Amino acid sequence: MNFSLRMPVATERPVDALVRFDDVKKSYDGANLVVKDLNLSVRRGEFLTMLGPSGSGKTTTLMMLGGFERPTLGQILLDGKPVERLPPEKRNIGFVFQNYALFPHMTVAENIAFPLRYRGIAGVAAKEKVREALGRVGLEALGERRPVQLSGGQQQRVALARALVFEPSLVLMDEPLGALDKQLRERMQVEIKHLQTSLGITMVYVTHDQSEALTMSDRIAVFHDGRIQQLADPETLYNKPSNRFVASFIGENNTLPCTLLGVEGGSAIVRMNDGSKIRANALVVSGSAGEITLSVRPENIKLADQENRPDVNRFDGVLRDVFFLGDHLRISVEAFGRHCVTARVPANRARHFSPGDKVALEFGVSACRLLET
């Protein structure tokens, strides 16, 4: 059976865009592109995260926007004006680096005041702006300390205050929480997002941490191999990945090979490697029947009920591993022809499991997504 379903659009160009990349390419050696045909808009007042593994092109894209790298081809517009040839200090952009880049010989207040010098702001006006910036990040009493006297979280706040003190139109953040411990990092995620929302500023944030991106972002651009694979809000990205890479990279996921047999009664029918058949409603495929990938989240796989229902796929497997994680068990099951399937089972509803047990599991027809390989 032949059919075609429209693939999701990875990029868009909203009318009220503060930043726009038009067909941008970047090569360092003249032969290999690290950013390929980039078209991306950043809306005014939004928190947009560039997410991807190392080498995916996200940091290079941020550096081009900040003025630290120049695109090989294409145009970058800031507030409707091309900026490819403008140096960083002429772009009215705040920047927070991973290592904070604070001057060790300066006090906190002097570090924050540093960008004001280049903008001709001094004296009482500069002191007032520094005072306001310190207040925004909760460091009013630490203005006379030096960076070495501060904790990692406090240094991060100073770097953020310095990026905001001159009221930039845009703030760029490159892995700013990477050096913090887990608990502090999570607290700073909430603080940064709250600050961005309360001030109404536009932020572009780079990270390889998917949970960080899901927590903070209005939209996320997932990068891989120099291209945006999908651009969407966190919920859409998690529940409706547009391809196998996004499905595997965002959150834990089961991606299983299968063969598309056709469409029947509004659902797709696929054959798994062991010959069993699965129904799926959510498709992101085009073309004709053939080899594709079935994607289903572990939290959508449950212990099977006794009765079979038409809206549920049921399968059997052999338990391989069981991990207790407080409120749930994470189990690994061999199924569908020796493939590993991961499920999350509520601890208060699960019987005692042991490796080697045979288990019956199920997931809803609407919970699985078919993706092109």
Which has the higher per-residue pLDDT, 294 or 100?
294
Nearest CA to 34 among 195, 203, 204, 227?
227
73 in any annotated domain: yes
**Residue 181 placed within a domain:** yes
Residue type at position 210: Q
Confidence of residue 4 (pLDDT cuts 50, 70, 90): very low
Token couple for 321: 């591993």
Classified as helix, coil or strand, 240 is: coil
Q: What is the pLDDT of residue 9?
A: 42
Q: Establish if 4 belongs to a structural domain.
A: no
At 373 the pLDDT is: 63
- Strand 286-288 versus strand 291-296 pairing type: unpaired
282, 307: one domain: yes
- Indicate whether 114 and 172 sit together in one domain: yes
Provide the domain limits for residue 123: 10-244
* 192 and 133 co-located in one domain: yes
Is pLDDT of 288 > 80? no
Do residues 261 and 224 both lie within one domain? no
Over the stretch 294-335, which tens digit does the pLDDT of each residue have?
999 999 999 887 777 878 999 999 999 988 888 888 999 999
Please tell me the distance from the alpha carbon of residue 19 to that of residue 78, in angstroms, as a whole number: 5
CATH code, 336: 2.40.50.100
- 1 located within any domain: no
Q: Are residues 130 and 175 in the same domain?
A: yes
Helices 152-164 + 182-199 axis angle, to 10: 20
End residue of a domain, out of 244, 276, 298: 244
Asked if residue 3 belongs to a domain, the reply is no
| The pLDDT value given to residue 10 | 46
| Residue 124: per-residue pLDDT | 93
DSSP H helices, 137-209, are 152-164, 182-199
Per-residue pLDDT at 306: 72
DSSP helix/strand/coil, 278: strand
Which of 244, 275, 301 delimits the end of a domain? 244
Q: Do 365 and 281 contact (CB within 8 A), yes or no?
A: yes
- Is residue 88 within 8 A of residue 95, CB to CB? The reply is yes
Per-residue model confidence as pLDDT tens digits over 176-191: 888 788 888 898 899 9
Q: Give how far Cα 13 sits from Cα of 19, 40, 360, Å.
A: 10, 7, 47
How far, in Å, CA of 245 to CA of 166, rounded? Answer: 39
Q: Do 204 and 278 lie in a common domain?
A: no
Are residue 94 and residue 207 in the same domain, yes or no?
A: yes
Which pLDDT belongs to residue 15?
A: 54
Residues 116 and 234 in one domain: yes
Indicate whether 174 and 273 sit together in one domain: no
Question: Count of domains in the chain?
Answer: 2
Same domain, 237 and 316: no
Where residue 80 falls (left for φ over 0; alpha for ψ -120 to 50; beta otherwise) is: left
pTM of the model: 0.88
Single residue among 244, 277, 304 that ends a domain in this structure: 244
Q: How far is residue 226's CA from residue 57's CA, in Å, rounded to a whole number?
A: 5
314 bridge partner residues:
362
DSSP, residue by residue, 160-172: HHHHHTT--SEEE
Is residue 204 located within the same domain as residue 289? no
Return the residue matching tokens 């089961």: 254
Q: Are residues 260 and 209 in the same domain?
A: no
